[in-house]
Structure formats: structure tokens, C-alpha cells
Amino acid sequence: MTLHIGIDIDDTLYSFIDILRPYLNEFTWQNIQFNEITSFRLSDTWNLQIEDVKEIVRKNDLYNIWSISQDIIKKIKWFEEKWHKVSFVTSIFLYNNYNTEIYTKNFLLQHGLHYPLIFSDNKWITCKELDINLFIDDWLHNLKSIILHSPTTKCFSIEKPWNWDREINRIWLSEVELSKITKISSLLEID
Ligand SMILES: [Mg+2]
């Protein structure tokens, strides 16, 4: 069966926050470890403005430091070899300044990933509109709205510390919701 596979980019294809982490620590004079990241929102964990984060990314040229492993690239090409359709769906985190759309497109092309790229803040709407059968994301909040509003989309979550936060920003999911999401440690586990 041919599937339409939707894949998030940051922290699904590569380690976005963990590479950014030392730069955020340096900027804020903190020493937050990966497992201490209690929220996907960097501004909550580091108490930063989004503009500061953009500036850190730009100043340190992080788009040239982040990279996608060959295994992950091979896996995505394998989806295509199996006749599945692949689309990348990302939120617009850095969209307004610094030509994030162009950077992201180039970032994927540099890794040989020529698939459609959709910027979306409401991934469940994208899943519904594009008839995405399978979606992979690191953030349970996104997957929760997909299972609620696009029930035909099968969801996979990449395990990350920010999904299991016990603090105020924790995203609560019921057992029923969690049972609809397959937890994986990497995209390589999908077959
Ligand atoms: Mg992500």
C-alpha cells in the first residue's frame, strides 16, 4: 500500500535542540542539560525571547552545523523506493526573518532530500488536507491534535525529554491518546 508519510524536521530528522543547547547556555549563563529540557519551547526552558534564539542561530551559522545522518537520509529514500510519498512538514519557528524558508529548503537539498516542504503551524490541518497516512514528530502536542482531528493519520513520536515534563508546561495525554501514538527512539525504527 502506498502511503503519504509526513515528517517533521527539527528534532525528528536531526538533533536540533541538543546542538543549539550549548549556545543557549552560553548566552544565558546557564548549564541546562538535555534531559532537563522540560519544554519544547526554548523560551520556557532558557527564558529567552524568540528573537534572541534567531540571533544565536544566525550569528553561529547553525544551519551549517546542523546535519542529517546518512542513515536517516537512506531511510527516507527507502520510503520512496517503496513507492511511498514523502513530505516534510515543519512549523514556522524562524520563518519571518533570515529567510528561514530558503535556509530550510537548502538544508534539505544539501542532504539530497528533494521532497515537498510545507510550513505549517497546524500540522493536523496539513495531515487532513494532504491526506497524510503516517506522521512522525518529536512533539506530542502536535501528535495529540493529529489523533484528535485527523484520526486516519497514524502517529509516531520520537522520544524526547520535553514530552515527559512534570512541570507546569507538561503536555498531558490520556492513556487512550497515548495508545494511539507509537513511541520510537528514531525514525530508523519505522518499517
Ligand atoms: Mg520537531
Residue-wise pLDDT for 15-43, tens only, equals 999 999 999 999 999 999 998 887 777 87
Domains and CATH numbers, the chain: 4-14+68-189 (3.40.50.1000)
Q: Which of 107-116, 142-151, 173-182 has the lowest mean pLDDT?
A: 173-182
d(CA 46, CA 37): 9
Residue (of 79, 181, 173) closest to 135 by Cα position: 181
Convert the pLDDT of each residue in 49-98 to its tens digit: 878 888 898 899 888 889 999 999 999 999 999 999 999 999 865 445 55
User: Taking a C-beta distance cutoff of 8 angstroms, is the pair 169, 41 a contact?
Assistant: yes
Centroid of ligand 1 to alpha carbon of 91 (angstroms): 8
**Percent of residues, the chain, with pLDDT higher than 70:** 92
DSSP letter at 186 equals S
Centroid of ligand 1 to alpha carbon of 157 (angstroms): 10
List Cα–Cα distances, 125 to 91, 93, 107, 150, 163, in angstroms.
12, 17, 25, 8, 21
Q: Would you state the pLDDT for residue 36?
A: 87
Indicate the pTM of the whole model. 0.90
